[in-house]
Chains A and B, each alone.
Chain A
């Protein structure tokens, strides 16, 4: 997993081989409805929205219900740091509940609960009588807008940004739309510049700069950084990313040659592709990988401009780097079977579903969560080493790489297991 999680993982319990933390079948007899299960990253807690009474819901954690009940509750999520949040409503007032405690503000509506990459800050989009905004750990943007769509949080959680509509627009009004009434607001303060559209923004590593995809007119898109557009324009662009530790931006752009990655507007890798997106830097901040389609209907990964030898027919999800940035793996689907490919070599076996793969700290092993039918397995370097389980979450390597944390539901009971990798490999 990423560095932030591997840092957090240092303080987890890596010694107890197996904990049976809750009997889920018991939940079903205590509550007339148990919804989707979620687990904390460290596996110590499992939770679900459950029905508490005829028309009231609450949150059940390791079998224990919260004291608050709600008319509606959804989007139950653990933050990477392990704090449990839910969006909930009573008497038409929506708020966020953090570990059974509400945030101060209530709203007409709340959605898009997400976390800063460092796991410390939770944010939501909100609607109140004054308009649309965002709220982070209970602090709500001062300014309100006609509309705010989505919201992104900087790494450290100090800044948030979302695309905002600056003027009302009545249906059918193509003239006002053409003027450009969309902008980007950072911490609630909009850019001066307006565009036809603003999509998918990204923060620089230090959180001081924001880049976003913007549309200037039909068929003409580019990247704007803090409101200032690249000089070059493209037929279309996809999400930008900042080069780690710098304020330079990389984004895919479509020209008559095809799709290409661009750095501050200039082509980065020479060769154009049928498609390129989901570019991502390795932890070293230097190696760059992206999903590419070298030929129509064929998908692969390119690392620093070099395309893997093998290509796949259906889809390649996204590149995942090893900690030393030397290796890249991805969940791929070929001829309707999912599998994992590592440095261009796919595992032999195909599955009904494969989640993102993760490298061991030394980069020598790859683990992934796999499904065959409705059974879930741990796959290590292409072999199914554990399972089947009724439910399972992504396995996580211990910081020393010796063990795997596996969170699973087996025979209706929830287990948190620590398994020595050596023994798993023997199977």
Chain B
């Protein structure tokens, strides 16, 4: 079938390590993973798939690349696992680079395709297995690997040092106090109702989001805390690179931090993949069926604060808004209705996207893809023209994105396709519409 070759992308995280590989070494690692880390799901999925291609229409990569079959979910499995299994792992090193490109940069493990396959085959799981193989062979896109290195060293995503973290919180506390009287970020408070965790880009580049939450907590009179020690970062790119040992360590430190502070539950900021890691993949690897203490996403938390009246909405945000429904909290945890309810409660002109809820398209950034770095940005943006069309069709000016990955991903789509829209976290909307009672005015 005459398919034009895809543009060649150089990446030090792939090009250097494959020089050290041989088909024999690849086979050893592949067979070890097959024998010790895969079982019923892998085998049954591989044997059951009838090659019908019905999963294709699920994938934004496929839809956006003119229905190029190399981007269909089963097409990605074919180009990676079918060959690996057939050759029992004895493949050329260049093939592993292909695997890394396909599984790590061209699939967001968003699981939309498992809703389209009549058998419910979990293709994202299969492609995560490919990522695992690549990671064990040391082949991971440079910037994704660097993020994982940061997780391994600092237990956070962006090389934030311990002092920088605390310093940032104290600075944001000052800023919050300038707005709300006695607003605080209580550090290491034992027995608080809420242990609030964020992802490292917040202290690193979006510190005002932490200041915002300090104001929201003060206004809603929430008994909360943040840890001054490691475990404050809930994000986890190691889950996506395939370095599950590092993933487990990061997740353990997060849950341990909340357990150590005897918090009643963890509330996490607006991030989707972090939620998935903390609520699902991480606990699973560590042996917990569910997180050891309840863990809820910011959307759930804001819903609770608004519906119980702890936050009073005194005006409505009137610019036309639409929403990017993050896969990991909507398809991944069923928060779709609650997200709509808090948008309805705060915005007067909401334009629903189509398709929506569980069927929404991934932002294209999730699953670690945006962390693969600038070299992969062009293919990522090209691979999600359906998202641009979907957003443009709503006619909204603002896209609410309660997820950090979506936030960056949608910004790239907006500028890439010149949509002239803006992206906001829900907390940014909230800051504009809640009442700060007189006695709390600074």
Contact = CB atoms under 8 A, between A and B. Distances in A.
Contacts of A182: 153
A174 B13 contact: yes
Contacts of A127: 163
A109 B249 CA distance: 27
B163 A111 contact: yes
A296 B286 CA distance: 9
Interface string A262-294: 000000000000110000000000000000010
A258 B355 CA distance: 43
A353 B262 CA distance: 7
B136 A219 contact: yes
B2 interface: no
Nearest to B137: A218
A314 B229 CA distance: 23
A75 B135 CA distance: 40
A120 interface: no
A182 B138 CA distance: 19
A215 interface: yes
Interface in A28-70: 32-33, 35-36
B196 to A, nearest CB: 16
Contacts of A314: 288, 290, 292-293
B277 interface: no
Contacts of B290: 297, 314
Interface string A205-234: 000000000010111010000000000000
A362 B294 CA distance: 36
A109 B167 contact: yes
Interface stretch (B100-108, B187-195, B387-395): B187-195
Interface string A251-268: 000101000000000000
A175 B287 contact: no
A36 B228 contact: no
Interface string B291-311: 011100000000000000000
Nearest to B29: A219
A176 to B, nearest CB: 10
Interface in A70-111: 72, 74-75, 109, 111
A236 B16 contact: no
Contacts of A352: 264
A293 B143 CA distance: 35
A413 interface: no
B149 A177 contact: yes
Contacts of A313: 289
B243 interface: yes
Pick from B12, B146, B152, B163 the residue with the most CB of A within 10 Å.
B163
Interface residues of B, number: 52
B264 A353 contact: yes
B161 A75 contact: no
Given A33-B182, A35-B184, A74-B170, A147 B245 contact: no
A218 B264 contact: no
Contact of B245 (A35, A177, A235, A297): A235
B154 interface: yes
Contacts of B136: 218-219
Given A175-B16, A275-B286, A293-B287, A236 B149 contact: no
A299 B287 CA distance: 9
Nearest to A393: B190
Contact of A112 (B162, B249, B264): B162
B142 interface: yes
Interface residues of A, number: 52
A174 B153 CA distance: 13
Given A218-B243, A313-B289, A36 B149 contact: no
Interface string B189-233: 111000000000000000000000000000000010000111000
Contact of B162 (A149, A275, A355): A149
A173 B135 contact: no
A110 to B, nearest CB: 8
A125 to B, nearest CB: 7
A150 interface: yes
Interface string B152-186: 11100001011100110010000000000010101
Given A218-B135, A333-B293, A150 B245 contact: no
Interface string A403-424: 0000000000000000000000
B429 interface: no
B145 interface: yes
A400 interface: no
Contacts of B182: 32-33
Nearest to B243: A218
A75 B12 contact: no
B143 A72 contact: no
A315 interface: yes
B149 A219 contact: no
A315 B293 contact: yes
A173 B146 contact: yes
A127 B167 CA distance: 12
A218 B138 contact: yes
A356 to B, nearest CB: 10
Nearest to B145: A174
A330 B167 CA distance: 35
Contacts of A72: 170
Interface string B260-287: 0010100000000000000000000011
A396 interface: no
A174 B191 contact: no
A111 B162 contact: yes
A67 to B, nearest CB: 23
Contacts of A197: 152-153
B332 interface: no
B259 interface: yes
B259 A111 contact: no
B318 interface: no
Interface string A316-336: 010000000000000001001
A172 interface: yes
Contacts of B152: 196-197, 215
B12 A236 contact: no
A279 to B, nearest CB: 15
Interface string A135-166: 00000000000010110000000000000010
B259 A317 contact: yes
Contacts of A219: 135-136, 243, 245
A127 B165 CA distance: 13
B259 A125 contact: no
Nearest to A108: B163
A332 B170 CA distance: 34
A235 B184 CA distance: 41
B146 A174 contact: yes
Given A219-B245, A315-B293, A171 B163 contact: no
A250 interface: no
Contacts of A355: 262
A75 B293 CA distance: 25
B154 to A, nearest CB: 7
Nearest to A318: B259
13 contacts: A75-B188, A111-B166, A125-B162, A147-B161, A149-B153, A217-B138, A219-B245, A274-B287, A275-B286, A297-B288, A314-B288, A315-B259, A315-B292
Interface of B: 12-13, 16, 32, 36, 135-136, 138, 142-143, 145-146, 149, 152-154, 159, 161-163, 166-167, 170, 182, 184, 186-191, 223, 228-230, 243, 245-246, 248-249, 259, 262, 264, 286-290, 292-294, 373
Q: When A and B form their complex, which 3 residue pairs have the shortest distance between CB atoms, in order from nearest?
A: A297-B289, A315-B292, A275-B287
Given A74-B187, A199-B249, A219-B135, 9 more contacts: A111-B163, A112-B162, A149-B153, A149-B162, A150-B229, A219-B245, A315-B259, A333-B292, A353-B262
